[in-house]
Amino acid sequence: MMDINNLNAKFSIPGHLSLIELDNQIISLNITNNFADAQISLYGAQIISYTPKNEVDILWLSPNSYFTEGKAIRGGVPVCFPWFGPHPSDQSKPQHGFGRISNWELAETRLTSKDEIEVKLRLQSSPATKSYWPFDFLAEMTFLIGKTLTITLKVTNQSDLPFEYSCALHNYLRVKEIKDCAILGLQDCLYQEDSEKIMHTQKEAKLTINQEVDRNYSNTAGYYSLVDPNHNRTIRIHKTGSLITTVWNPGSQKSQSLKDMPDDGYKNFVCIEAVNALLNTIKLAPGEAHETSTKLELED
């Protein structure tokens, strides 16, 4: 990886974007424009903060998160790739794939004609990625920081063989008090609880969270709203190129068992993730590509 001075010489945008070194040589991009402030870690290609002007951060970052190679950053929007959850056949491989524990290369930064900032990162297959997953691929993450935040994962098959992968844009959405919030847009959708095989249908128009929730909703494409009365705002979550929506909150007990989360961390976020997994993995022929994208915005 280039050193911080060379990265700044090549990629900084005066008044808008600079690179700094966080703990343990983890490099972050600090971004500011008329719409928002944001921070993106090259490690994990993970946006860890997105704060629209005069607002509280939309993303939650655990105050106890690791910032250490080999461990995932807890919060922001981790990228799960090329599998979601435990590896299907080898439990020794990292949960949620290697994307979130890899150093991604900074490929491009640019100020758009609308004064948004666009950042592109990429991860190319290498001997290290092949020790986990044998294929040649190019994964590209694009972040568009404006009045809305758009995050896109594009995966291209550069192998001679077809391959199949799972992925997630695993957003941690910040709320003040989860028990007071509601998620709208999932009524009549079929879901599977993480540990069960049977499908349920959500009857309620509003999903409220008072205990651990780990649901994979199928055939969900569109947008959802997270109503947070204590922050007096509603976050809208759009997604494209993803048919599964995962809603995750660890609840009190699991929160206490996660070392990188405060005991009461579960009160301050919920994940409403853009996922391709389970019956909706992505299959790519040689040369093909797929984009999974999510857009977060505050309702006016």
Residues of the shown chain interacting with ligand BG6 in the complex, contacts defined by CB under 6 A: 72, 85, 95-96, 170, 194, 214, 246, 248, 273
- 122 Cβ partners below 8 Å, 6+ apart? 104, 105, 107, 138, 139, 140, 141
Catalytic entry in 116, 140, 170, 297: 170
- 110 Cβ partners below 8 Å, 6+ apart? 13, 117, 118
Cβ of residue 223: shortest distance to ligand BG6, in angstroms? 19
CA distance linking residue 272 with residue 202, whole number of Å: 15
Number of residues that make up the chain: 300
CA distance linking residue 241 with residue 26, whole number of Å: 30
Taking the least distance from each CB to ligand BG6, the nearer of 116 and 273 is 273
Taking the least distance from each CB to ligand BG6, the nearer of 156 and 171 is 171
Closest by CA to 178, choosing from 214, 217, 211, is 211
Dihedrals phi, psi of 143, to nearest 5 degrees: -115, 130
Taking the least distance from each CB to ligand BG6, the nearer of 139 and 247 is 247
Taking the least distance from each CB to ligand BG6, the nearer of 17 and 272 is 272
Cβ of residue 161: shortest distance to ligand BG6, in angstroms? 28
Cβ of residue 241: shortest distance to ligand BG6, in angstroms? 17
Cβ of residue 9: shortest distance to ligand BG6, in angstroms? 35
- Asked about 170 being catalytic, the answer comes back as yes
Contact status, residue 117 vs residue 12, Cβ threshold 8 Å: no
Dihedrals phi, psi of 163, to nearest 5 degrees: -140, 170
Catalytic entry in 273, 291, 297, 299: 273
- Asked about 105 being catalytic, the answer comes back as no
- Calculated CA dihedral for residues 202, 206, 210, 212, nearest 10 degrees: 40
Which of the residues are catalytic? 170, 273
